Amino acid sequence: MIRIGIVGDIGSGKSYVAKKFGYPVFNADLVVSNLYKTNITCFKKLNKIYPNTIISFPITKKEITNCILKSKSSLKKIINIIHPMVRKKMNKFINKNKNKKIIVLDIPLLLENKINKKNDIIVFVDSKKNKILKKLKKRKNFNLKLNKKFKKIQLPVEYKKKKSHFTVRNNFNNKFLKKDINRILKEIL
- How would you write the pLDDT of the chain (189 residues) with one tens digit per residue? 999 999 999 999 999 999 999 999 999 999 999 999 999 999 999 999 999 999 999 999 999 999 999 888 899 999 999 999 999 999 999 999 999 999 999 999 999 999 999 999 999 999 988 888 787 877 767 787 888 888 888 999 999 999 999 999 988 777 789 999 999 999 998
- pLDDT score recorded for residue 105: 98
Q: What angle do CA 169, 8, 72 make, to 5 degrees?
A: 155
- pLDDT score recorded for residue 102: 98
Q: What is the phi/psi pair of residue 167, to 5°?
A: -125, 135
Give the CATH architecture of domain 1-24+100-189: 3-Layer(aba) Sandwich (3.40)
The residue count of the chain comes to 189
Angle between helix 74-96 and 28-38 (nearest 10): 110
Q: Domain locations in the chain?
A: 1-24+100-189, 29-96
Distance CA 178, CA 127 (A): 15
The alpha carbon of residue 173 and the mean position of all alpha carbons in its chain are separated, in whole angstroms, by 21
Tell me if the bond preceding 58 is cis, omega within 30° of 0: yes
